[in-house]
């Protein structure tokens, strides 16, 4: 959006300069050449190239890893091979290694579960690969992120997640440092029959904006905070507002009834 206003300002300046120079010196062709040269330089600039970045590997299916037989566990692998396009951090420190078909009961880590993995519920959420974010006690949050541009006309960011002991587990989603507010869209089951939840986030305010999309398993002092993540996508569908609960509706009804009786006494 800022680039659009900037281009309009430059175009307005060009028109004024062209009118002035043509009227005084007949040099409109010179202004045109300068304008074309500036556009070429602008389009080739690093900032312009950055604005065209797109998010990649949102479903984690681009992993380039050797197969691990069923019933066996893997070890640490480079994040560039396991999660191309993504970066990770543990306790705010960038991590270059992730566990393949393995997890840790006490240490914070980023894991990738691939084909033949069924040891941790719910296993693989969709496709061949799922990411597991294992936060530990504070301050060891575990984050996965990448930089990109929100697609034009995108209304909703959707993703599927599973939380171990939801009362203890919590996760955050943010874009460009702004915390987003997911709402539940639906629930589903993995191939092994385990439940997961599909969430939606209103992302329309950031259309065409470039920034960091980040998912974080939030650490706490009551136990591990584990979140599986999969099937991230952008949609043109609008996220529906959560329906009010029966408690909220009852409370609103009670307030309206009380207000009616109060006005009735005053009349």
CATH number at residue 210: 2.60.120
Q: Could you tell me the two tokens for 66?
A: 């050797």
Residue 66, domain member (yes or no): no
CA torsion angle for 234, 78, 98, 184 (degrees, to 10)? 0
Same domain flag for 47 and 80: no
Residue 267, domain member (yes or no): no
Exposure b/e, 242-262, CB count within 10 A at least 16 = b:
eeeeeeeeeeeeeeeeeeeee
What's the whole-model pTM score? 0.71
Same domain flag for 126 and 212: yes
Same domain flag for 144 and 205: yes
Same domain flag for 160 and 105: yes
Same domain flag for 103 and 217: yes
Same domain flag for 107 and 210: yes
Question: Is residue 184 predicted with pLDDT exceeding 90?
Answer: yes
Residue 8 φ then ψ, to 5°: -65, -40
Print the domain residue range for 134.
Answer: 76-235
Same domain flag for 42 and 161: no
Query: pLDDT by residue (tens digit) across 198-247?
Result: 999 999 999 999 999 999 999 988 878 899 999 999 999 987 544 444 33
Give the range among 163-167, 233-237, 260-264 with minimum mean pLDDT: 260-264
Share of the chain above pLDDT 90, in %: 54
Residue 263, domain member (yes or no): no
Same domain flag for 151 and 229: yes
Residue 266, domain member (yes or no): no
Exposure b/e, 151-190, CB count within 10 A at least 16 = b:
eeebbbbbbbbbbbeeeebebebbbeeeebebeebeeeeb
Same domain flag for 22 and 148: no
Give the range among 117-121, 171-175, 196-200 with minimum mean pLDDT: 117-121
Same domain flag for 84 and 39: no
Angstrom distance (rounded) from CA 253 to CA 265 = 19
Count of the separate structural domains present in the chain = 2
Residue 45, domain member (yes or no): yes
Same domain flag for 116 and 42: no
Same domain flag for 32 and 84: no
| Mean pLDDT of all residues belonging to the chain | 79
């Amino acid at each position: 959006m800022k680039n659009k206003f900037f281009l309009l300002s430059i175009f307005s300046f060009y028109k004024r300069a062209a009118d002035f120079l043509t009227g005084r010196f007949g040099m409109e062709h010179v202004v045109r050449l300068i304008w074309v040269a500036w556009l070429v330089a602008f389009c080739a600039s690093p900032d312009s190239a950055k604005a065209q970045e797109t998010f990649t590997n949102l479903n984690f299916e681009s992993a380039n890893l050797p197969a691990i037989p069923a019933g066996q566990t893997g070890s640490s692998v480079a994040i560039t091979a396991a999660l191309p396009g993504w970066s990770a951090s543990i306790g705010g420190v960038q991590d270059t290694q992730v566990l393949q078909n393995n997890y840790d009961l006490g240490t914070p880590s980023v894991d990738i579960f691939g084909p033949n993995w069924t040891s941790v519920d719910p296993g693989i959420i969709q496709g061949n690969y799922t990411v597991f974010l294992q936060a530990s006690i504070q301050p060891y949050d575990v984050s996965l992120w990448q930089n990109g541009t929100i697609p034009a006309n995108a209304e909703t960011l959707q993703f599927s997640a599973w939380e171990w002991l939801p009362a203890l587990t919590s996760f955050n989603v943010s874009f460009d440092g702004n915390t987003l507010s997911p709402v539940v869209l639906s629930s589903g089951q993995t191939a092994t029959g385990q439940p997961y939840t599909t969430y939606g986030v209103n992302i329309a305010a950031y259309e065409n904006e470039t920034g960091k999309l980040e998912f974080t398993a939030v650490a706490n002092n009551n136990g591990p905070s584990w979140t599986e993540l999969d099937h991230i996508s952008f949609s043109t569908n609008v996220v529906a507002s959560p329906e009010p609960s029966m408690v909220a509706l009852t409370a609103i009804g009670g307030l309206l009834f009380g207000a009616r009786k109060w006005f009735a006494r005053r009349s």
